[in-house]
A and B are shown apart, each in its own frame.
Chain A
Amino acid sequence: MRPFSFNRAETVKEAIAALAQNPDAKLLAGGTNLIDLMKYEVTHPGMIIDINRLPLKEITDLPDGALRIGALASNSAVAYDERVKARFPLLSSAILAGASPQLRNAATTGGNLLQRTRCYYFYDTAAPCNKRAPGSGCSAIGGVNRIHAILGANPACIAVHPSDMCVALAALDTVVEVEGPQGAREIAFLDFHRLAGDEPQRDNTLQTGEIITGLRLPPNPFGQNHTYLKIRDRLSYAFALVSVAAAIEIDKGRIIDLRVALGGVAHKPWRDTLAEREFADRAIGESTFREIAERLLIGAKGQGQNDFKISLARNAIIRALRQAAAGTPQDQTVKAIQ
């Protein structure tokens, strides 16, 4: 780590002001990723603004049936919240599929959105990496890239977003509430994270000085027709190679609303809403699931070591759709995949 000054913000306004005044400041919430990155010398904030005292821990019901989750609610608090479990079980399940109980106790909702890639080269300060050092090149292309992207990648960066929670949030049409020097605004979840494009150093669309204050989960009609299916190298405490958050609204055996978000495959939680809409009114069943998987993976491209992710993603999508359609979501404790 490099020496930094430490400030505590007591209000959102204070935090925004401090952030605006100190371009090299970073916000500290749970710290599970930021402290890690600082120890690895990947990031060197000159100032840490501790926002843990901001009043953003609450989970509150909204009049329209939505649920608002404060940015500082811990991953555990969200996963085990009775309302989340009852109304957004997909989110609860995805959170419990990630990290460990200790990390989930510390990590926050806002922090989860802002966690950075696990690309080996991003973490290794001796290696060229466009995300860490723009313009230096991408070492993962042609290198050790078993965990890298198969969708939406480009020659500048093939890193993937590592979150499980965000995959569920993407499927649930979540709204991200942010506040900045210009005031408050909302960002649709699918617009929050970005593809690497020619600015791989930017993971998301937050403007300078903006902070996440909360998430809004709109009510959904999925009931038990959802699942979070995570495939990884060991059975727990490992990042996803591929994960699928699926939810289907079904009426008389036909798809009304289809949501499929993918984790571990792209620079952002991957969702293709255009493709999803093509399957409206289609009959639930194996052939439809296969078609959905093929459709969602059009354009998927491997980097060598991660070629297997394409067939893995295809099979995982099909399996997840079966689980969702059957109303038998994957239990994150039971390691046999239904």
Chain B
Amino acid sequence: MLNPSKVVGVPTARIDGPLKVSGCAPYAAEHYEPFMLFGYVLPATIATGRILAIDATDAERFGGVIKVYTHENRPDTAWRDSKWKDEVALPGHPLRPLESDRILFDGQPVAFVVAETFEAARDAAALIKIHYAAARPHTDLRNELSNRYAPPVPRMKQLVPPPPRGDAEKAFKEAPHRISSDYEMSGEYHNPMELFATTVLWKKDGELTIHDKTQGSQNSHEYICQVFGLDPDKVVVKNAFVGGAFGQALRPKHQLFFAVMASLDLKRSIKAEMSRREMFYLTWRPSSFQTVSLAADEEGRLTAVMHDAVHATSRYEDYQENVANWSALAYKCDNVKISYEIAKLDVSTPGDMRAPGAATGVTALETAMDELAYVCGIDPLELRVKNFAHRDQMQDKEFTSKALHACFREGAARFGWSRRSLEPRSMREGHELIGWGMASGIWEATMSPAEANVRLSGDGKVTVSAAASDIGTGTYTILAQLSADAFDIPLRDVTVRIAESTLPKTGVQGGSWTAASTGSAVQAASKAVIATLLKHAQKLETSPLAKAKVEQVEIADGRLVLEANHQIGMPVSEIMERAGLSGIEEHAKVGPDMMTMRKFAAYTHSAVFVEVRVDVELGVVRVTRVVSAIAAGRILNPKTARSQILGGVVMGIGSALHEEGMVDHRTGRIMNHNIAEYHVPAHADIEDIDVIFVDEDDDKASPIGVKGLGEIGIVGVAAAVSNAIFHATGKRIRSFPITLDKILTERTDQ
């Protein structure tokens, strides 16, 4: 019953764009009040041990300092662990800042300085003297592999490896073609450009307005209310603009805790902003070791898939992500064995980072597939087509849709893949060897429960409300587009109210589910508004729509009309006026359709093609061309959708070539905790990236046909880069990132 698209599906500039480009979009730290206080965190400089003594005398005496909080004077907070568990908490014991003298990881906050100026807080923090008793740290995953274990409490049932299928070991032994390789991935750090920050505006009546850098205002709200025992009605959390997050802002961060703690204690408004260094001490993509063993028959059909993965977690929580299960469903194979465990290190708890699990696990699988292609002597793309899975064998379900063939076809055509020769080191220009590599990507298309309100006012303008976030994904714009189409009004007549804990309930923004979930809720609420409008119209005397059913009407050009005949209908303003209404507001709640999900599995898919140029004598790798073909259902806004894929590709290139937390395992400390030495791609590293969205109709993944785009762009990219490096150089490098020293020292395989 919704109108054919006028705005949805059309490349549309962000409605919040003018604010962002003019510096008028306020992020968490950019809210002001006279006489506000500033807080600054002091990070620990040991990885494990105890604080023997802490001397804050000089800091307390420092000009402008109001108070220094340490574990010795921290105000009381909730006692029960359950109160500290946020919406996406992990099995284990959540960190309680300044709870005791115990240090569990490098950079753990050990003091919080509150002062009248940012500079005073920062500079006083440096004067705090701490005497530690450091214990011997265990931070090298390689050395802890013997202590690996299956998480006793699964974070989610989807993360538990599926039971073995067939007899993979036997099939592997008997196969004519096989490979078995070990892959190593370094820990990575999200490093969104915005520093974590919280501004707490305190009012005399005890009301708190909190601007927090978070991917879920309601998650921060609930956490704060539980930890400090606050009346939920007296606390509002807002996240109007979020300067990137990539998963790092899913769980509440310690600056939120500290800012609220000090605000309540001092009865003052306060702002706390992390340093870039602190951004390395929380929620990171865990380092991992993986072994992938693949076997194929003479024709290259997979006869065995085995994938073993182990990654790091902290002493206090069991972080878990889906690293290996992808290998049980990505390709058709009847003999599959998946194993997945974690190992404790003296580090902070890892967390979700863009395509958690898949970014590392699919990289291993897709590099292994490339290795198998060479063992079989088959083109890597052909090998993937040959082993196409038409059904999710892991869950024994049909796919809601899977236009991966189109990704292969259109991506390969755009890239010129057919001109590739299988032979490594077959292309050269100047000092550079040129290589073409590809990989396939997969991510789950999920919906989370979401609610929304839609209000249509008599003047035809619409207000959409939901607690959803826009972390750069374009939520503001797509919700406006959906409503504009639903009510046939221009974008400018839609007001989007999101990013506030008081608004209708949504989950955190993560897992690529916001558009599908909140978008569907907005559509459902829009439908409900139209239904109510029709009811009112039908109550009126001589209503031309007296006999119309709700499925038969729509709004067009300011009138509620019959879809089949726009002549029949009446102006929205007239219905409202005659019914004595100033507006109609409806609420809707959506969630995954359990009946459908019992039969169907929903995933997004991709094929990514990469050209690299490698100067082997100097180890320098350049990624000169990328084509990423994406099957992700309906694309609401091709402009912002493309940006999401570009972002995934760029982060994938960083993961392939640059990003690596460098830990001194003698002390357990991260040494490159800054963005001069933790390298993320710069402008010069990124050349042409071509994004293709293939047609994919999906009426099951979500009510609006959307599957989500936040993660799929990165999946497979690192593998495609490493496969291209192999094709260029004949060097198979299984340790990520592929820094130039590895190119220099790795021998040529072929």
Size bracket of the A interface: 35 or more
Q: Is A155 an interface residue (CB 8 A)?
A: no
Given contacts A143-B664, A236-B682, A311-B744, contact A316 B618 (CB under 8 A): yes
Q: Is A142 an interface residue (CB 8 A)?
A: yes
Chosen A-B contacts, 18 in total, with CB atoms closer than 8 Å, are: A41-B126, A120-B662, A120-B671, A121-B671, A124-B671, A127-B667, A146-B662, A146-B741, A231-B619, A233-B739, A308-B619, A312-B741, A319-B617, A319-B618, A335-B620, A336-B615, A337-B615, A338-B430
Other contacts beyond A120-B662, A126-B669, A236-B682: 14, CB < 8 A: A118-B677, A124-B669, A124-B671, A233-B740, A234-B658, A234-B682, A236-B683, A308-B744, A308-B745, A315-B618, A335-B620, A336-B622, A337-B431, A338-B430
Q: How far is the CA of A127 from the CA of B46 in the complex (A)?
A: 10
Instruction: Report the 10 A-B pairs with minimum CB-CB distance, sorted nearest first.
Output: A126-B45, A236-B684, A308-B741, A120-B671, A235-B684, A315-B617, A144-B671, A143-B664, A144-B662, A237-B682
User: Which one, B63, B622, B662, B664, contacts A335 given CB within 8 A?
Assistant: B622
User: Which one, A41, A237, A338, contacts B684 given CB within 8 A?
Assistant: A237
Q: Is B379 an interface residue (CB 8 A)?
A: no
Chain A residues whose C-beta falls within 8 Å of the C-beta of B740 in the assembled complex = 231, 233, 241, 308, 312
Chain A residues whose C-beta falls within 8 Å of the C-beta of B657 in the assembled complex = 234
Q: Is B176 an interface residue (CB 8 A)?
A: no
Determine how close the nearest CB of chain A comes to the CB of B529; give it in whole angstroms. 50
Q: How far is the CA of A337 from the CA of B431 in the complex (A)?
A: 7
Chain A residues whose C-beta falls within 8 Å of the C-beta of B685 in the assembled complex = 234-236
Interface residues of A in 236-257 (CB under 8 A from B): 236-239, 241
A120–B672 CB distance below 8 A? yes
CB within 8 Å of A: which residues of B? 45, 63, 119, 122-123, 126, 429-432, 613, 615, 617-620, 622, 657-658, 662-664, 666-667, 669, 671-672, 676-677, 679, 681-685, 739-741, 744-745
CB within 8 Å of B: which residues of A? 1-3, 41, 118, 120-121, 124, 126-127, 139, 142-144, 146-147, 231, 233-239, 241, 308, 311-312, 315-316, 318-319, 335-338
Instruction: Count A-B contacts at CB 8 Å.
Output: 103
Q: How far is the CA of A311 from the CA of B683 in the complex (A)?
A: 28
Given contacts A143-B666, A241-B740, contact A312 B615 (CB under 8 A): no
Q: How far is the CA of A184 from the CA of B610 in the complex (A)?
A: 58
Determine how close the nearest CB of chain B comes to the CB of A179; give it in whole angstroms. 33
Determine how close the nearest CB of chain A comes to the CB of B130; give it in whole angstroms. 9
B622–A238 CB distance below 8 A? no
Q: How far is the CA of A1 from the CA of B672 in the complex (A)?
A: 21
Q: How far is the CA of A184 from the CA of B649 in the complex (A)?
A: 56
Q: How far is the CA of A265 from the CA of B15 in the complex (A)?
A: 50
Chain B residues whose C-beta falls within 8 Å of the C-beta of A144 in the assembled complex = 662-664, 671-672
Chain A residues whose C-beta falls within 8 Å of the C-beta of B676 in the assembled complex = 118, 238-239
B684–A335 CB distance below 8 A? yes
Q: How far is the CA of A312 from the CA of B677 in the complex (A)?
A: 19
Nearest B-chain residue to A229, judged by Cβ: B618
Chain A residues whose C-beta falls within 8 Å of the C-beta of B613 in the assembled complex = 336
Chain A residues whose C-beta falls within 8 Å of the C-beta of B618 in the assembled complex = 231, 312, 315-316, 319, 337
Chain B residues whose C-beta falls within 8 Å of the C-beta of A335 in the assembled complex = 620, 622, 684
A319–B123 CB distance below 8 A? no
Chain A residues whose C-beta falls within 8 Å of the C-beta of B620 in the assembled complex = 231, 235, 335, 337
Chain B residues whose C-beta falls within 8 Å of the C-beta of A338 in the assembled complex = 430-431
Chain B residues whose C-beta falls within 8 Å of the C-beta of A319 in the assembled complex = 431, 617-618
B617–A234 CB distance below 8 A? no
Nearest B-chain residue to A308, judged by Cβ: B741
Chain B residues whose C-beta falls within 8 Å of the C-beta of A121 in the assembled complex = 671
Chain A residues whose C-beta falls within 8 Å of the C-beta of B617 in the assembled complex = 315, 318-319
Determine how close the nearest CB of chain A comes to the CB of B659; give it in whole angstroms. 10
Chain B residues whose C-beta falls within 8 Å of the C-beta of A3 in the assembled complex = 63, 123
Determine how close the nearest CB of chain B comes to the CB of A143; give it in whole angstroms. 5
A233–B679 CB distance below 8 A? yes
Determine how close the nearest CB of chain B comes to the CB of A307; give it in whole angstroms. 8
Chain B residues whose C-beta falls within 8 Å of the C-beta of A241 in the assembled complex = 740
Nearest B-chain residue to A239, judged by Cβ: B676
Nearest A-chain residue to B619, judged by Cβ: A312
Q: How far is the CA of A308 from the CA of B705 in the complex (A)?
A: 51
Determine how close the nearest CB of chain B comes to the CB of A336; give it in whole angstroms. 6
User: Which one, B430, B669, B672, B677, contacts A336 given CB within 8 A?
Assistant: B430
Chain B residues whose C-beta falls within 8 Å of the C-beta of A41 in the assembled complex = 126
Q: How far is the CA of A146 from the CA of B660 in the complex (A)?
A: 12
A336–B662 CB distance below 8 A? no
Nearest A-chain residue to B666, judged by Cβ: A143
Chain A residues whose C-beta falls within 8 Å of the C-beta of B663 in the assembled complex = 144
Q: How far is the CA of A252 from the CA of B122 in the complex (A)?
A: 63
Chain B residues whose C-beta falls within 8 Å of the C-beta of A120 in the assembled complex = 662, 671-672, 677
B744–A312 CB distance below 8 A? yes
Q: How far is the CA of A127 from the CA of B663 in the complex (A)?
A: 13
Given contacts A41-B126, A308-B744, contact A235 B432 (CB under 8 A): no
B123–A2 CB distance below 8 A? yes
Chain A residues whose C-beta falls within 8 Å of the C-beta of B431 in the assembled complex = 319, 336-338
Q: How far is the CA of A144 from the CA of B664 in the complex (A)?
A: 6
Q: How far is the CA of A335 from the CA of B122 in the complex (A)?
A: 40
Nearest A-chain residue to B43, judged by Cβ: A126
Determine how close the nearest CB of chain B comes to the CB of A300; give it in whole angstroms. 15
Q: How far is the CA of A238 from the CA of B744 in the complex (A)?
A: 19
Chain B residues whose C-beta falls within 8 Å of the C-beta of A2 in the assembled complex = 123, 126
Q: How far is the CA of A231 from the CA of B431 in the complex (A)?
A: 15
Q: How far is the CA of A333 from the CA of B497 in the complex (A)?
A: 45
A235–B622 CB distance below 8 A? yes
Determine how close the nearest CB of chain B comes to the CB of A100; give it in whole angstroms. 9
Determine how close the nearest CB of chain B comes to the CB of A316; give it in whole angstroms. 6
Nearest B-chain residue to A38, judged by Cβ: B123
Determine how close the nearest CB of chain A comes to the CB of B276; give it in whole angstroms. 11
Nearest B-chain residue to A44, judged by Cβ: B126
Determine how close the nearest CB of chain A comes to the CB of B184; give it in whole angstroms. 15
User: Which one, A142, A234, A318, contacts B666 given CB within 8 A?
Assistant: A142
Determine how close the nearest CB of chain A comes to the CB of B689; give it in whole angstroms. 15
Chain B residues whose C-beta falls within 8 Å of the C-beta of A316 in the assembled complex = 618
Chain A residues whose C-beta falls within 8 Å of the C-beta of B684 in the assembled complex = 234-237, 335
Nearest B-chain residue to A236, judged by Cβ: B684
Chain A residues whose C-beta falls within 8 Å of the C-beta of B669 in the assembled complex = 124, 126-127
Q: How far is the CA of A100 from the CA of B386 in the complex (A)?
A: 48
Determine how close the nearest CB of chain B comes to the CB of A334; give it in whole angstroms. 10
Chain A residues whose C-beta falls within 8 Å of the C-beta of B667 in the assembled complex = 127
Determine how close the nearest CB of chain B comes to the CB of A142; give it in whole angstroms. 7
User: Which one, A126, A127, A234, A318, contacts B681 given CB within 8 A?
Assistant: A234
